[in-house]
Structure formats: structure tokens, C-alpha cells
Chains A and B, each alone.
Chain A
């Protein structure tokens, strides 16, 4: 049969893609292990891990990422739910709005933020707490395309309207419908949106560096200006972190693959 014949073109492109993605990474990894001349060592990693600024950046970015995830979940689950239930015709508009962070460069966005919020009446850049509020708001916007799309896909897989009506006829108010019926069925969608948002925030450079907050990415950039081996090690660490997030995502969503989509 034709389908069984080896498709050499397919293999060729797979190999090309593999080299394209993995060769630079292999180069970085190899380089990061050669800090000591003539031998393979983890010295660069030791230096990175021993630097308190790394841990500070890591902690700060993790905290900001978690806050971002909580806030964007609280914003997007009810919004998308409402859109599905009451204004399905607003969907094209929502799609365009949520894709804006991909279209508007982050640098333009951050200058807009600084210009607006560094002067009265909303002078938020004066204290660290209010700057952190500003940065979280920025992260929420930057992660919006991922969060919206993940929740949107999750909602599409369940019959939102009928489940809502079923829950209502059993006495649930709006809060109970969301908390007991909608959100538990969106668990995987919310988690996948959350993990992608997490990876995005962990690697976000421009917002943090222009708002001068001790996040992980500005530390990496700074290190890259003055050192050679440590930034390579850091790059590998952040890769590992991202892959760990994605692996976690795979692991969690596998538990749900046998679940049937609600009858329609």
C-alpha cells in the first residue's frame, strides 16, 4: 500500500527540524559545562546556584507568576463562561482583543505603562508594592492569549449551556454553577493555561527590566553582559524549568484523556 511506503521527505524535514531546535541547545549545554579548561564540570551551575541574586530572581518571578495565574484565572473563567452563555456573538471580538499582546511589541506596551502610571493620578511606580501590582497587571495582559485560548478550548469541549441549565434546575445559583460544575470540568484547561503562563512570566524580560524589579530574566540578561559560561548554564536551567512545566502539563492532562465529552 502507498501509505506504508517510507516517506523520505517527512524524515528529511523531521531531521532538519530536530537539528534546528536541538543543535543550539546542545551547543549551549556543551559550552556551559566547559568552564574549567580541558574538563567537563558543573562549575558554572555551582556559581549560578551560589549567587543569591539568582534565588532572589527565581523567587520573585515564581511569586509574580503564581499571582498572575490566580488573577488571570479569576478574570478569564467567568468572562469566557459568560461569553459562551450569553454573548456567543462577541467571540470574534474577544479573539482579536486577546491576541493584541502578540501584535503590540512588549517594549511599546511597557513604555505606555510607564508613561501612564508614573505620574498622577495613578502614580504607581513610586513604591515597590505598587510597581509589583503594575507588573502583575502587565503579566496578566501578556499571558492573556494563552489563558483565553486554553479556557476557550476547555469550554468548547463541554456543553456549557446545558450543564448550566441542569445545575440551575437542581437549585444552584450562579456561584454554585461555576464552582461545582463549570470549573471542575475545566480543570485541565485552566492548568494548561496556567503552566504556559507560568513559563511565559518566568522568561519575561522587558517588563521587569524597565520597571526595575528583581525578576529572573533581567538577572540573566545582566549576567550575559559580563560573564560567558554562567548565562549558558542559566539558559539550560530555564529550559529545564519550561520543560518541567510542560511535562507536568502532559502528565496532568493524560489523566483526563479517557473522559468523554458531555453528550450533545
Chain B
């Protein structure tokens, strides 16, 4: 039996369907991310687990107990909000100890647990401060400690880092993962930031328009995207419209140039695209690889990498090169040849959501 099970969850608001046929089984101690663009239903699903929304149909169980209709205050689920939601009238210690006070623990017990938690989030000296005296990152740590105080069976985080600056965000996300591992607490993390999802999760649930697109480990999601949406949403990807010349060997044609694809979808006459990630493409030609010739359209400096934009047979193609000292950047308009390994590219059917 899995720890948390969501079975056939559907949620509609009036005629609008927010979540449709959502199924997920989460193991004890697993770190799961819900990843998707805004409005994809990830937060709604999380709120149903927390008990703030009731599913239109479907069930939610934890350790086999059906919680679908249990009010949020009887679920023992810790929740961290994007806006921190610390109680402004209470000190850090009172915030962290709030759940324990409601649960009727003794004062000594509350004090012990609060100092334990403040040590865990490394804010020992801050017990008497008020939320307004803390930075955003510190407030979110306190919110995390508060959510963990009752040793909940599940920890839910709703875009907890979105309101913080880039640097604090990376620090705090490592911190969250460390604490999660240390406590072994089953966690669901909602984010629209693919980097967060990839770097934190045991498994990622990619969602779009209320549906699950793919569930998998970060490697599976990035290297083997199941749908065109996942391929496009997670990471950058080049999608070149090609026509199949030899289905047995995966030979395709882009304009006048011939290419070979490693993994290919069933070819049934629908429009086909060749997918390849920019980091798999290298400058220059190589004998055993796919080679494409085009013209440089743009050179974008991104710090550790440089993204070169090409036009190949009238279609855009991006490649990433490491910003090494020896790197000679091409000039715009210059003819440019690139190559990529056959295993690095695959064929995909054109998705029904061309704009996604």
C-alpha cells in the first residue's frame, strides 16, 4: 500500500474543469513536485490534498484512510504557502508553537519542540522576533518549521520560493531538501519553475490544462519526455519539421539535408518533428553524427553558456556551447555547421497544442 493515494480526482468550478482524472500514488518519504504553467491545476490538486477544496469526484487516502471529506484541521497535514502566511500578531516561537498549543500540549513540551525546530531551520536566536522583523527567506523558514511542528504525515509546499530573490531561492531549496531528507517526510511541492522541480524531486508530475502529462523521475522527464508539451515545457528544445524518407531506419529529411533519428514514434502519416536539446548540439561537423548546415541568426550570452541561434532550411535551431576562454563566437549571418549524435534526437508527432 502506498502512503498517499489520489484516485480519479476531478475538480470542476461550475462548467470549468480545473483537474481531470488525476491519479497518483506516493511512497512514504518521497519528494514529489507538481510542475506546470499557471492554471494547469497543480495548486488546485494540492489544495484538495490539504482539504481546502473538495474534489468533485475521486478519493484521497493516506495509509488507506479515506480523507476525501475530512476537514483540513483534522488531516494533520503541514502546509507552506507562497505568501508565508505567518501570523503577524505572534512571535516566531508563537508561530512555530501555534499548532502544538491548539493540540493542547504542555508549555514545556511546546518550548522544547519549538527550540528543536528553530535549530532545524537554523534560526535559534530569532524566537522572540515578529514576522515583520524577518527577511522573506527567514519568514519562509519559520513557516516551514511551523508546518513541521506537529510532525505531520504529509508536507505540502505551494510555490514556497516564488516570492524570494534568485540567490535565496537556491539556498532555501537546498535547505528544504535537506530537512525533508533528514525527517523522511512525504512531501508534495508545487512549482512552475522547472529547475526547482528537477533539482529537488524524486519524481515530477508534469501537468497541463488540468491533466497529468507525465509522471517520472527528473531524468525521465527531461531525457524522455512523453509528450510534446513536456518536451517543450521542461528545458529548451528544438523541434524541426521533417519528412520521413526511411521509416525502418529512422531516416528523415529536413529540406535538402538528411538526418537519422535515434528513438522514433509510430509513423502514421501525421506531421513529424525531430526533437533535439540545444546542449546536445556541437559546432562543426563529425562523421558518425547528424550534421546540419545553416546560418547564424543570433548569439546570446548567458554567462556560463552561450546560446547560438541558427536558421537551418528556414527553421530556427538553437545550440548551447560552454563559455570557455578558447571559445570563438561566430558572427551573425555567417554560415555555420553543427552536429549532434543520433541517440540525442528523436521523432515526435506534432502535438495538438502547437503553441504550448
A interface residues with partner B (beta carbon < 8 Å): 158-159, 162-163, 165-173, 176, 180-181, 184-185, 187, 258-264
Contact = CB atoms under 8 A, between A and B. Distances in A.
11 contacts: A165-B85, A166-B79, A166-B86, A169-B51, A170-B73, A170-B102, A171-B74, A172-B102, A181-B89, A184-B89, A187-B89
B98 A170 contact: yes
Interface string B125-160: 000001110001001000100110110000000000
Nearest to A159: B83
Interface residues of B, number: 35
A169 B132 contact: no
Listed from nearest, the 3 A-B pairs whose CB atoms lie closest are A260-B132, A170-B99, A166-B85
A263 B85 contact: yes
Contacts of A264: 83
Contacts of A172: 73, 102
Contacts of B98: 167, 170, 180
Contact of B72 (A163, A169, A180, A184): A169
Contacts of B146: 166, 170
A260 to B, nearest CB: 3
B79 A165 contact: yes
Contact of A260 (B79, B87, B88): B88
B136 A169 contact: no
A181 B87 contact: yes
A262 B85 contact: yes
B41 interface: no
B84 interface: yes
Interface in B138-195: 139, 143, 146-147, 149-150, 163
A171 B99 contact: yes
B78 interface: yes
B323 to A, nearest CB: 37
Contacts of B139: 263
A183 to B, nearest CB: 9
Given A165-B85, A187-B89, 18 more contacts: A159-B83, A162-B85, A163-B85, A163-B87, A166-B81, A166-B85, A168-B51, A169-B147, A170-B98, A170-B99, A172-B102, A181-B89, A259-B130, A260-B88, A261-B88, A263-B85, A263-B136, A263-B163
